[in-house]
Each structure stands twice: as C-alpha cells, then as structure tokens.
Amino acid sequence: MNFPTLQITGSGQPFIWLHGMLGSVESDSVYSMVDFNRVSEIASVIRYDACGKSVTGDYSWDGMTDELLHLVNHYKFEPKILGGTSMGSGTAIHFAVRYPERVKALILVTPPPAWEKRKIVKALYNKIASKADHSGNPEFMRKLISMNPDVPDFFEQENPGTWERLLEFRLGFEQQYYPQIYRGGAASDLPAPEEIEKIKIPTLIAAFPDDLNHPLEIAQTLNNLITGSEIVIISNYADYRKFQEKVNNLVGSTFSDNKS
C-alpha cells in the first residue's frame, strides 16, 4: 500500500490530525481550530493528506479509517490521540469505534451532519459529484466552494486574508479529485449512536453556534453519547484561545496518565 507523505512536528507520543473535506495539510496550516504549533510543544503532531489527494482514493469514512489503520500499523504509532475536523472527525470516530483499545483520547472539531440529517447531504453530494464529473468546468467548483467560506468572521478579523489563502488551496486539486471526494462523502455516515456510546475515552468536542454545515445538534448529541466528553461552543476569538488551552490540557494529561 502507498502511504501518504507525513508531516511531523514536535516530539513525543503521537497526536494524529485528520483534515476536513477539501482540506489538506497545507490548508490546515493556514486555518485550523487547533493550534498545531502549541500541541507540538508537548506531543508529536502527525498530519497527512487523505488518500494522498489521489483522484482514485476511497474518501468514504470507512475507507479513510482503513487507510489510518494501515498507516498506524506501518509506523507503529502507539498509543495515540486522534483529532479531526468535519470529515476528519467522522473518520476519527469510526476508528475509535472499531479499535477502541488503540485510541487514548479524541478531539472532534465541528462534527459533520449525521443520521437523519445526513440524508439530504448524501443526495446533495451525489449531485455535486455528477455535476463536477461531467461539467469539465472548473468554474462550477469555484462558485460552489466560494459559497462556503468556513472561516468564522472572528478568525478572519484576527488573521486577514485567511479565507482567500484557503480558497486557493481548495481550488488547487486535480479536477477529478472533486467528484471522487464528494462521492466518498455521499457514501459516509457516523456509526450508530449505540456504537458511539461504547467510546470510553477523554473526548473534547468543538462546535460553532450557527454553522449550518456542521449542526450544533450533532456535536451536542455526541457529547451526550460519549460519557465524560466535553463540548466547547466557540463564538469569538476569546473562545478560540480558551479552546487551545483545553486541547493542550487534554493532550498533556492523557499522555501523562499513560506514563504513570
């Protein structure tokens, strides 16, 4: 199996981060709700592009869970904390459900629509994939991606130009990558609630109060399902900074407990 190129910063036990849909290592370096520089002071931060950005990759959450399994087995990344945003958080949850003994903690940022709420998303993603596959017109994806800036206003205000830089990365994939990743999203959903209830590890969940693409209700449901989890609703830059403290506290305490 061909493994994606890893970007590793810091040293110590592994914190593996999984990017969101249309994301990449490069785009997450421009905008992320987790400050990787801070985490790398206490852990080895490991990031990679899902399926190596391949136009033939399996971008379903099950498929990317398999990819993660092969990767951690190959590099012997044990024990570990998994974190991810949107699509990446979906993969992290699948991995924690399938291999509970191999995950020490979870950080789930803006979990994606799931269950009943995912039915509409699946239909929409299939339509987008079909359109992207047959249009041969890059302008279609530009218009679509431009409609969903994702970067919250408070982050853009503190870091002007973030959205424009992020847009460049999201428009920089090969044309056939777009239908492939949307088909993967259309084929995906979170595990059943009764499976997620079996997760028994420290879990930090972050959500925005008014993000239609990542409903707060899903984050709250995960918080209710995962015993001992904590949810953080981020409304402004002060909340974002406080979230970084919680991330570092979770990473530090989890790996400290593992040594004892």
C-alpha to C-alpha distance for 184 and 62, rounded to whole angstroms: 9
Nearest to 144 by CA among 120, 125, 160: 125
All residue ranges of the chain with pLDDT < 50 are 260
176-196 confidence digits (pLDDT tens): 999 999 999 999 999 999 999
Which residues are CB-contacts of 49 (< 8 A; sequence separation ≥ 6)? 4, 5, 19, 24, 25
DSSP 111: P
- Are the CB atoms for 227 and 200 separated by under 8 Å? yes
What pLDDT, on the 0 to 100 scale, is given for residue 260?
A: 47
Say if 252 falls within a structural domain.
yes
Segments forming the whole domain that contains residue 205 = 6-114+190-259
Say if 163 falls within a structural domain.
no
| Token couple for 39 | 């985490």
DSSP 133-177: HHH--HHHHHHHHHT---S-HHHHHHSTTHHHHHHHHHT-S-TTH
What pLDDT, on the 0 to 100 scale, is given for residue 113?
A: 95
Q: What is the pTM of this model?
A: 0.94
Helix, strand, coil shares of the chain, percent, nearest 5, are: 50, 15, 35
Nearest to 205 by CA among 116, 115, 119, 105: 105
Say if 107 falls within a structural domain.
yes
Say if 161 falls within a structural domain.
no
Count of beta carbons in the 10 Å neighbourhood of residue 232:
18
The CATH number that applies at residue 81 is 3.40.50.1820
What pLDDT, on the 0 to 100 scale, is given for residue 33?
A: 95
118-172 confidence digits (pLDDT tens): 999 999 999 989 888 765 556 777 788 887 768 999 999 999 999 999 999 998 9
State how many domains the chain has.
Answer: 1
- Bridge pairing between strands 14-18 and 44-48: parallel
Say if 169 falls within a structural domain.
no
